Amino acid sequence: MVTQPATAADITNGAKIFDIQCAGCHENGGNIIRRGKTLKKKALKKYNMDSLEAITSIVTNGKSNMSAYKDRLTTEEIENVAAYVLEQAEKDWRK
């Protein structure tokens, strides 16, 4: 898999996708269904989700109550939203 560093454009696009597809459950990096499984740095680390590969994978294939996005988003869109999640986790979801 390609792991080039995300560009600013990728992150901006990722933010748009996040607002449409993910914020319903993960508003401000939280998780309204599984409270512990947030998108904050500590939780991502704990569940080995703190990498582009891991986030790309869960978004592509889904997990339990989170659906798969492979039919709804392109590979590029999934990578963009994963880059955005990592970037926001670094900033502790402060806008």
Which residues lie near ligand HEC (CB under 6 A)? 21-22, 24-26, 31, 33-34, 37-39, 43-44, 47, 49, 55, 58-59, 63-66, 69, 81, 85
CB 41, min distance to ligand HEC, A: 10
Alpha carbon distance 41, 31 (integer Å)? 13
Is the CB of residue 19 less than 8 Å from the CB of residue 85? Answer: no
Alpha carbon distance 19, 49 (integer Å)? 20
- The number of residues in the chain equals 95
Closer residue to ligand HEC in complex, CB, 7/70: 70
CB 5, min distance to ligand HEC, A: 18
| Cα atoms found within 13 Å of the Cα of residue 67, Cβ hemisphere only | 9
Closer residue to ligand HEC in complex, CB, 13/38: 38
Closer residue to ligand HEC in complex, CB, 7/61: 61
Pair of tokens at residue 86: 């990592």
